[in-house]
């Protein structure tokens, strides 16, 4: 169930790439904790950390885009906001129901798939833009 970071996902901006790798690592920790039936407290800690980390990452990424007058910033912000909303819903589901098969599937679909698609498509455009801009 783990998601794999590959160099195909590299944006070409070290700070962004390192944060993306960190997000992948944390998501894998979450999936592992859930699969191993770890306690609610441990899964909750990973979810809370990931929620905070993603918000900080999006803020940093958006600041780079704003500083460089990236044309697609509004679209990126909208996608980031939607991800935060979806993740908050998953966090709430965990808080009310605990680790359920439905939650595991939703995290796989809404978190793992979104990350690989968003980074592989949208964030790579930022890297290409910044490379051209110099």
pLDDT tens per residue, range 27-52:
888 888 888 887 677 788 888 888 89
12-133 CATH:
1.20.120.50
Q: Is 107 exposed, middle or buried (0-12, 13-18, 19+ CB in 10 A)?
A: buried
CA separation for the pair 62, 15 (Å, rounded): 12
The answer to whether residues 23 and 50 touch, using CB atoms and an 8 Å cutoff, is yes
Q: Report the percentage of the chain scoring pLDDT > 90.
A: 62
CA separation for the pair 98, 16 (Å, rounded): 32
What pLDDT is recorded for position 15?
93
If you search the block for the tokens 């978190």, which residue do you land on? Answer: 111
What pLDDT is recorded for position 1?
64
Mean of all residue pLDDT scores within the chain? 90
Q: What residues does each domain of the chain span?
A: 12-133
């Amino acid at each position: 169930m783990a998601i794999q970071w590959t160099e195909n996902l590299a944006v070409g901006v070290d700070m962004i790439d390192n944060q993306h790798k960190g997000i992948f690592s944390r998501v894998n920790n979450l999936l592992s904790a859930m699969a191993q039936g770890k306690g609610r407290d441990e899964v909750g800690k990973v979810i809370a950390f990931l929620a905070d980390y993603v918000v900080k990452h999006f803020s940093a990424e958006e600041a780079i885009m704003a500083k460089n007058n990236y044309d697609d910033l509004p679209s990126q912000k909208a996608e980031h906001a939607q991800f935060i909303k979806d993740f908050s819903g998953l966090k709430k589901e965990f808080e009310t129901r605990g680790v359920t098969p439905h939650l595991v599937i939703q995290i796989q679909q809404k978190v793992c798939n979104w990350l690989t698609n968003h980074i592989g498509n949208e964030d790579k455009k930022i890297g290409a833009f910044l490379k051209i801009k110099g």
